[in-house]
Amino acid sequence: MSDTGFGDLSMLELFQMEEQQQSALLSEGLLSLEQEPLAPKTLESLMRASHSLKGAARMVGIDPVVDITHIMEDCFVAAQNNKLVLNSDHIDILFKSVDLISQIANSLQELPQWLNANQNKVTAIQCHLKSILVSDEECSKQQVDIGLEKKSGQAPEHGGSLDSPDSGVQINKVDSKLQVANKSDLRIDSLQIDRLMRLAGEASEGSRWIRKHSESLLQLKRKQFELFAAIDHVTELAMDDLSNGQIQERLHDIQAMASGCRGLLGDRLNSLDGFERKNISVSKRLSQAVVTSRMQPFGDCIAGFPRLVRDVARKLDKNVKLEIEGKGTLVDREILSKIEAPLNHLLRNAIDHGIESANIRGALGKTDTGTIRLSAYHMSGMLFITVNDDGQGVDIDGLRKKIIKNGLVHDDLPQMLSDEELLEFMFLPSFSTRDEVTEISGRGVGLDVVFDAVKEMGGVIRTFSTYGEGTTFQLQLPLTLSVIPSLLVKIGGEPYAFPLARIDSVYSVDASDIKVVDGHQFLDIEGKNIGLIAASQILNLRADHSLNDVVSVVTISDRSSSYGIVVDECFGEQSLIVQMLPKKIGKLKDISAAAILENGVSILILDMDDMLRSVEKIISTGLVKDIENRASHDYLSNRKRILVIDDSITVREVERNMLESSGYDVDVAVDGMDGWHMIHQYDFDLIITDIDMPRMDGIELICKIKSKECYKKIPIIVVSYKDREEDRERVFTAGADQYLTKGSFQDNSLREAVEGLIGDATV
């Protein structure tokens, strides 16, 4: 292999871009050629693509690609000259050749090592390509498997990715890009787009500041009018005193000055209003332009799907064609990346579960070739993607029996459900309509993954099926994940946002409607008991106790349970431009991103999946706190507050129950880091901590507390299993006030230590 060009990284990048473009043309042409083997335009396109790719590989000295594309070009030229007809087996070899070229292009930075490990595969591909042109005995002796064997009735494992070896399909991952006139790709870093989004948000914030400034000037203008009225009144009084000419002259001067100020202020206000309107317009257009820059054609996501359908259908010995509509439909690049796997599952399901074999279709009076139609379009401000097949459809009676057999519901209930409700059972985890297990069916993997992926994007999926005629899956998704319609709420006195797409409903209920059963609070909503939990408890915030008799509840759900999240108040809806949190901060529990409100206030957007997990965790540990009201606040406000920090739930609960029974108000933290965060949020009278804990141990926590002037006076008790003198010395050196051992202390010893440091429970 030549070394030419490998010293210039930009040349390699250009070759990779060229390879992506030409490989896409080759894949598209091979699919068309399989349907019309003698189509002259298709053969011409394939020949030119292989010739261009050969020239590009020669320019940068990638000899294996030069050799492979040269033989491919010879194959297409031979077909053009009617010396051979390329059949499906030939197409398989040519597809594998394209795949190998893509693998080489993706391994350029370590190509010598890759070639050493895969030289047999390269040689095998070359031999198989030559066998298309002539009978080559050497090729028949080649023992290296290139994955061309066709196993009847089998297909790539269900749930595999599009670029898995099983599927034989490879999709090149391409960043957001702008198409330019010379057909080359100008790549845009996604981080740069995120920075532009933040700048657009700041520009919008500046526009809102101008509005507030303009309003303050209007107030000044009104005050000036009051001043002018007072001056006019004084002038009238002075005019009556004709003997004092000096006063009259001075008042005339004041009136003239005031009139000049009034005119100047009016002119400036008019100019400011004009600037404000222009700035708001520019800010909106900037935001829209940045959001648009995140959009890509739907076709960028599905370039490999025709190949996927072709390969899976051949392995299942079925005739299937894929029709695609709406390739130019613009979709947020983040949605494109997230939707690829769900569509992969749906297409595989359509081929395996939906489309019948050719002989069965013939017996039913259908064409031998089944059709899957994939379409994308915008409607009512949403993105709709549908996957439709003209196969056998879903046997509703069989589905009903399967539901009963699996014990998913009571035997009588399926008879009462509609077809649409029964079809929703197919999205449950581990549910399959197949009894036998193959590589693609019967594993219960697929549709539950589709459901979860669509829900994560804030979308919904619907299923429609007519037995004997086919099935349609309809995905309804937001146009972009960069702008999130949100419900604005207050929690602990601070603003937060719930993504509207993840909210089931919002209620304002009388506090008297909250019921208690077995110590748990719930609401009866449309005949269903919805358990309540305070958002302040989930986020470890101090609850806002200035509650009215009306309680605001936001209901959210996963696939099995619904929960009512109690917030301080709901104060409107707004579409928020998402601003990702800095990487230095890392992932914040229950928080997905940030945004800026129209009034310039920063707000955190809640992560609904995290929230659901947090709720389930709190419920599983039995630590759900009552929704507090004014009466309970009057009681709690007189109690001293203690923070218990321990990574053992048993120890935490023993200490918490012990101290609460003595009248103290107790919060708990699961480790030193969790405790450090809580110390920033609440005022504690005493801290009790373990030593050995993950993320931050007790010694480090004590040192942090004592290093802060505002916290250093808080008494600290260490409770540990360790009972060595060196451990005690470390604890007291760090600044702790008391040391107890878990293995020896009795109830009274902890109470006595607490009372000795902070006194009785009440203030």
Token pair of 168, please?
């034989």
Give the DSSP H/E element, type plus range, for residue 59.
helix 40-60
Show which of 122, 146, 170 is a domain's final residue.
146
Q: Answer whether residue 50 is part of any domain.
A: yes
**Tokens 């010396």 -> residue:** 83
Residues 321 and 447 occupy one common structural domain: yes
Q: Answer whether residue 494 is part of any domain.
A: yes
Residues 109 and 122 occupy one common structural domain: yes
Pick from 499, 503, 419, 504: which is nearest to 462 by CA? 419
Show which of 478, 498, 517 is a domain's final residue.
478
Residues 336 and 472 occupy one common structural domain: yes
Q: Is 233 buried (19+), middle (13-18) or exposed (0-12) by CB count in 10 A?
A: exposed
What is the reported pLDDT for 592?
86
Whole-prediction pTM value? 0.57
Chain segment 55-114, per-residue pLDDT in tens: 888 888 888 999 999 999 999 999 999 888 998 889 999 999 999 999 998 888 888 888
Residues 591 and 642 occupy one common structural domain: no
- Distance from C-alpha of 523 to C-alpha of 660, rounded to nearest angstrom: 27
Residues 73 and 209 occupy one common structural domain: no
Q: Answer whether residue 314 is part of any domain.
A: yes
Q: Report the DSSP beta bridge partners of residue 187.
A: 177
CATH code of residue 660: 3.40.50.2300
Show which of 260, 294, 328 is a domain's final residue.
294
First to last CA, the chain: 83
* Segments in the chain below pLDDT 70: 1-10, 135-214, 216, 235, 237-248, 250, 280, 283-284, 287-288, 430, 432-446, 517-519, 542-548, 559-560, 598-600, 621-622, 628-637, 743-747
Cβ distance 629 to 543 under 8 Å?
Answer: no
Residues 282 and 304 occupy one common structural domain: no
Residues 386 and 351 occupy one common structural domain: yes
Q: Answer whether residue 745 is part of any domain.
A: yes
- Distance from C-alpha of 558 to C-alpha of 726, rounded to nearest angstrom: 50
Residues 682 and 661 occupy one common structural domain: yes
Percent of the chain's residues with pLDDT above 90: 18
What is the reported pLDDT for 204?
62
Q: Answer whether residue 125 is part of any domain.
A: yes
Query: Could you tell me whether strands 550-557 and 562-567 are parallel, antiparallel, or unpaired per DSSP bridges?
Result: antiparallel
Chain segment 424-435, per-residue pLDDT in tens: 888 887 676 665
CATH code of residue 86: 1.20.120.160
Residues 315 and 459 occupy one common structural domain: yes
What is the reported pLDDT for 261?
74
CATH code of residue 427: 3.30.565.10
Residues 358 and 457 occupy one common structural domain: yes
Residues 123 and 228 occupy one common structural domain: no
What is the reported pLDDT for 96?
92
Residues 318 and 258 occupy one common structural domain: no
Q: Answer whether residue 29 is part of any domain.
A: yes
Domain hosting 474: range is: 297-478
Neighbours of 339 (CB within 10 A): 25
What is the reported pLDDT for 199?
66
Q: Answer whether residue 186 is part of any domain.
A: no
- The total number of structural domains in the chain stands at 5
Q: Answer whether residue 183 is part of any domain.
A: no
